Structure 1
Amino acid sequence: MINPAGELWAGVDVGTQSLRVYLVNGAGSIAGRGSGRLTSHRALGRDGAPRHVQDPDQWWQVLGEAFRQALSGVDAERVRGVGFCSTSGTFVLAGPDGLALTPALMYDDGRAYAEAAEVAEAGAELWLSLGYPIQPSWALPKLVHLIRSGHHGRLQHCADHLAGRLAGEAVATDWSHALKTGYDVEAGTWPTPVLDRLGVPAGMLPDVVRPGHRIGSVGAVGAEHTGLPVGTALHAGLTDGCAAQVAAGALTPGAWNSVLGTTLVLKGVTPERLRDPGGAVYSHRHPDGGWLPGGASNVGAGALEARFPGADRAALDAAAAAFEPASGLTYPLLTRGERFPFVDPAAEAFDTGDFTGPADRYAALLQGVAFVERLCFAYLEGLGADVSGPISVTGGATRSPYWTQLRADILGRDVILPAHAEPAFGAAAAAAAGDGSLTAAAEKMAGAGRVVPHRPEVHERFAEPYARFVGELRDRGYLGDDR
């Protein structure tokens, strides 16, 4: 690994399965990397709703290990700041000492089904104006659920929880992470009247600042744990979907980034906020002006491990190429319920057709995710979004050249593999930008990516199976007749 000269910025990304740290200079060269595995627990509650939790102490442990790896052979004094990103809607309740009082409720934890309906009703006019599709997995309904279950403490999103532990004191969150907790991004305030109706004390919620803003500095305990110098600046970050968008440099109107990791997340840029009566799309505020619309599906690469645990993915990719299209269709939901391109908490995965064997089934799974991705872009275009600009693809699924090519073919669009696809890179760029232009910092650091051209003849080959896939969704009541 080349160790570039000059100042460095660190980016921390806390995902579902791992935590990653990047050290990046102002020109986008990477000086160090570190990572560690994370575990989580999924289960169904007695009410049938999905639970998904992580241990926040494991976040802290792996954070220290990952920073030690990244700083190996690097002068830690060169690190000027640290930025953070994490899964949207993931949070803990913490005590005055900053330690977690609850497990971390993850981004797709759906225990707050009843509370989501109450939250939607309590702030109906506000949510409509903001385009917030209140869902059980959002942080605000889950917070209401915890309060009514007798829990207390201060809400901390994953990113600001770790920043606070590094600082040794509570820090502000950013308006990207705060959105699913009900923060009013138009007014720049917590909606106190709505929160009062829901019984959420104002003291439970953190202050909110712009992504990139300095929120504190590394204290003695954080320095000992990570190897960072005392006083290293800590900066507010963004959700992982937004951070991946930053890493791709997709921050100008018409550009889109499709993140395919455990789940599928699309993020773009529009001058005006999109209005979605279906509630599948919501918009973050762009730090430089305008909006970052997008949505998150419950399909994704996580279904590969669920259905083909421990398999040789490269061998299956090669075998799947013989099934274009597959003998049947697969809608590979990771959990019950869908969030994008439609909202239906009762949606269920399905398979149709007669498959000839594992390779055929594997091919249908890859194609099913790509069909959902195509449908998401069609939905965004139907809302009035400009989807004609460059499409970058990031996330763990891009490690498969075959799947990336297949996605381009099914979309019928060339796609770009960014030079640096990790959300941790985007978090580092946010730290480097500080209160300045995030777009300029990202453009300087991201560099040029590699274009994967689509194959028009393959796109045509998938026209009929894609139409059947949409028809299956419509027959099950997941899509209206107008889709």
Structure 2
Amino acid sequence: MYVGIDVGTSMVKAAAFDSTGRELAIESRSVGLTLHGGVVEQDMEEVYAAVVDVLDSLTAQVPEPVELAGLTGQGDGVWLVDAQGRPVRAAASWMDGRAHELVDRWLADGTFETVFRRTGSAMFPGCPGPLLAWLESHEPKALDAAAAALYCKDMVFHRLTGAGPTTDVSDASMPFLDPRTRSYDNRVVELLGLTHRRGLLAPVSDPVATAPALGEGLAAGTRLANGPYDLPACALGAGVTSPGDGLLIVGTCLASLVATTDLDLTGEPAGLYISTDRPGHWLRAMPAMVGTAALDWVLSTTGVRHEEVDGLLADTPPGAHGVRVLPYFAPSGERAPFVEPRLRAELTGVSLESTRADLVRATCEGIGYAARHCLAAAGLTGTLAVCGGGTRSPAWMRLLADVLGRPLRVVEGEVGARGAVLAAAERYGEPLDAEAWTRPTAVVEPDAARAAYYAEGYEEHLTRLTAARARARA
């Protein structure tokens, strides 16, 4: 039995697989987010307790011993811990927006672009650079008390194994890692005013770190590997490794990834290059801030249940009777395929005749247009896989295929956990059949007429977005 652990933003999951990649059991626990005034934080003890709980429940279901386990989780944010791996303060989430003024300043003075040209990382308020700089200005005592500024999965690995602070090249990619040398760029640290905090950056393990579990959640001695984080783990779990092939993750974050061997640091600074376990291979990532979270907000606001979505999508035609949604709901604005910290969602074309179905379809279409924008910017030329919670809606998948104008290789199940196991197996030399583990569960073809309609709608979306970005800067 192989176990993958995925420490998500709102849900902690663990999945057990046999040697062929068949899912044997899945356990999950929700974890909370605290949101107030643009600040988005998580309780580290709650997150870690959820990890132990799902592992205890999972391993109790399947009597076979765990051969090895792989760990993945949400990226970005700042998870400050002391020398024992205990929290110094609440974790600042990747969704946090408190550092937007710093990003605004760096955008204006050229620091933002300089960092991108050196690392391929377009900073946004919820990534470690701005957050650490904000903490330095407002909570320096928290940094004084910390032994390390970790990413989410690194905190969990630290606690599960007792190993020293460590991260991997994927998490370190935003924003301090030089993708050519696969080590921290000290000039970037200096540019962000953090040279005297350089010691808080966890050592980069390349390849990913391994250590035996201490006995919480996993039996003592169980082999555990740390990383990569959730976006590249999903790419591995979906079989997206050939240059030009892409993955769309329809989750809380709408993430578009394209495998590439071309490191191009020119063009508009946006997204990031995620270093992978293979030197010279990257994932060009355009992780838009809000995916299913945008639809969740609309559903909760209109009183619609998730199980009603497919029926509502069938109740209104493409174009949603003129209702349009720019789905930029995150408190920290947008980070891909452009950075606009002050951008906010817009809902237009609504009248007293508009229905809940119109609002739901318009939101799904808006998310689809945002995905198309991201995939184009990331350089998609090959096949496209799709995974995430959104795949549970067949109607939404058909809509997405139409909006994107291409077939979707749907990969269901716990794709991030699956990728974490494959990464762990590679690290430990376990011979797993990656092709069998990543086989799609379905292929959704676009309808030619609807795809043509949405191609025009996409151009309209870009026009509305240009105007919205101008208003955000005014």
| TM-score over 0.5 for the pair | yes
Aligned equivalents of 2:430, 2:319: Cα separation in 1: 44
Aligned equivalents of 1:95, 1:109: Cα separation in 2: 22
CA contact (8 A) 1:366 1:403 kept: yes
Query: How many residues end up aligned between the 2 structures?
Result: 454
Aligned equivalents of 1:273, 1:361: Cα separation in 2: 40
- Counterpart amino acid of residue 297 in structure 1: A
Please state if 1:347 is matched with 2:343: yes
Aligned equivalents of 2:228, 2:425: Cα separation in 1: 13
The Cα of 1:179 is off from its aligned counterpart by 1.5
- Counterpart amino acid of residue 438 in structure 2: A
Aligned equivalents of 2:424, 2:430: Cα separation in 1: 11
Aligned equivalents of 1:354, 1:214: Cα separation in 2: 52
CA contact (8 A) 2:15 2:414 kept: no
Residue deviations 1:184-221 (CA, integer Å, cap 9, x gap):
2322222234435524433212111135x3432211xx
Aligned to 1:57: 45
CA contact (8 A) 1:176 1:285 kept: yes
Question: More deviation in 464-473 or 361-370?
Answer: 464-473
- Counterpart amino acid of residue 48 in structure 2: W
Question: More deviation in 194-203 or 371-380?
Answer: 194-203
Find the partner of 1:160 among 132, 154, 158.
154
Aligned equivalents of 2:439, 2:273: Cα separation in 1: 26
- Listed as ranges, the matches of 1:206-217 within 5 Å are 206-210=202-206, 213-217=208-212
- Listed as ranges, the matches of 1:69-80 within 5 Å are 69-75=57-63, 78-80=65-67
DSSP-derived class of the 1:22 partner: strand
Aligned to 1:67: 55
Gap regions ≥5 residues in structure 2: none
Aligned to 2:267: 277
- Counterpart amino acid of residue 57 in structure 2: Q
Residue deviations 1:345-384 (CA, integer Å, cap 9, x gap):
121111111342111111111111111111222333xxxx
Aligned equivalents of 2:101, 2:412: Cα separation in 1: 43
DSSP-derived class of the 1:238 partner: coil
The Cα of 1:425 is off from its aligned counterpart by 1.5
Question: More deviation in 17-26 or 51-60?
Answer: 17-26
Aligned equivalents of 1:452, 1:365: Cα separation in 2: 20
Q: 1:341 to 1:118 in 2, by over 3 A?
A: closer
Aligned to 1:306: 297
Find the partner of 2:393 among 385, 400, 406.
400
CA contact (8 A) 2:118 2:178 kept: no
Please state if 1:454 is matched with 2:441: no
Aligned equivalents of 1:125, 1:473: Cα separation in 2: 26
Aligned to 2:426: 433
Residue deviations 1:439-470 (CA, integer Å, cap 9, x gap):
x8633422343111111111123233332222
CA contact (8 A) 1:52 1:105 kept: yes
Aligned equivalents of 2:400, 2:462: Cα separation in 1: 16
CA contact (8 A) 1:288 1:437 kept: no
CA contact (8 A) 1:155 1:204 kept: yes
Question: More deviation in 459-468 or 337-346?
Answer: 459-468
- Counterpart amino acid of residue 369 in structure 1: I
DSSP-derived class of the 1:52 partner: strand
Q: 1:424 to 1:199 in 2, by over 3 A?
A: same
- Counterpart amino acid of residue 358 in structure 1: R
Aligned equivalents of 2:328, 2:189: Cα separation in 1: 32
DSSP-derived class of the 2:34 partner: strand
CA contact (8 A) 2:298 2:359 kept: no
Q: 1:177 to 1:10 in 2, by over 3 A?
A: same
Question: How large is the Cα RMSD of the aligned pairs?
Answer: 2.4
Q: 1:73 to 1:198 in 2, by over 3 A?
A: closer
Aligned equivalents of 1:273, 1:194: Cα separation in 2: 18
- Listed as ranges, the matches of 1:26-37 within 5 Å are 26-37=19-30
Please state if 1:135 is matched with 2:131: no
Residue deviations 1:86-108 (CA, integer Å, cap 9, x gap):
22203311111210111111112
Q: 1:123 to 1:313 in 2, by over 3 A?
A: closer
- Counterpart amino acid of residue 70 in structure 1: L
- Listed as ranges, the matches of 1:286-435 within 5 Å are 286-289=276-279, 290-309=281-300, 311-321=304-314, 322-327=316-321, 328-336=323-331, 337-355=333-351, 356-380=354-378, 385=379, 387-434=380-427
Find the partner of 2:76 among 67, 85, 89.
89
The Cα of 1:125 is off from its aligned counterpart by 4.4
DSSP-derived class of the 1:354 partner: coil
Q: 1:296 to 1:24 in 2, by over 3 A?
A: same
Aligned to 1:4: none
Find the partner of 1:468 among 445, 457, 460.
460
Aligned to 1:176: 170
Q: Percent identity?
A: 25
Q: 1:286 to 1:98 in 2, by over 3 A?
A: closer
The Cα of 1:82 is off from its aligned counterpart by 2.1
Aligned equivalents of 2:291, 2:113: Cα separation in 1: 31
Gap regions ≥5 residues in structure 1: 1-7, 45-49
Aligned equivalents of 2:283, 2:243: Cα separation in 1: 9
Aligned to 2:226: 236
Aligned equivalents of 1:161, 1:413: Cα separation in 2: 39
CA contact (8 A) 1:144 1:200 kept: no
Residue deviations 1:313-357 (CA, integer Å, cap 9, x gap):
332321222221212211122224111122111211111113421
CA contact (8 A) 1:91 1:156 kept: yes
Aligned equivalents of 2:365, 2:113: Cα separation in 1: 37
The Cα of 1:63 is off from its aligned counterpart by 0.8
- Counterpart amino acid of residue 313 in structure 1: H
- Counterpart amino acid of residue 81 in structure 2: A
Aligned equivalents of 1:437, 1:144: Cα separation in 2: 41
Question: More deviation in 90-99 or 119-128?
Answer: 119-128
DSSP-derived class of the 2:153 partner: helix
DSSP-derived class of the 1:423 partner: helix
Aligned to 1:201: 197
CA contact (8 A) 1:89 1:137 kept: yes
Aligned equivalents of 2:114, 2:453: Cα separation in 1: 45
Runs of 4+ in 1 over 3 A off after TM superposition: 114-127, 435-438
The Cα of 1:392 is off from its aligned counterpart by 0.6
Aligned equivalents of 1:445, 1:102: Cα separation in 2: 39
TM-score, scaled to structure 1: 0.88
CA contact (8 A) 1:256 1:268 kept: yes
CA contact (8 A) 1:122 1:198 kept: no
Aligned equivalents of 1:354, 1:314: Cα separation in 2: 24
Question: More deviation in 263-272 or 201-210?
Answer: 201-210
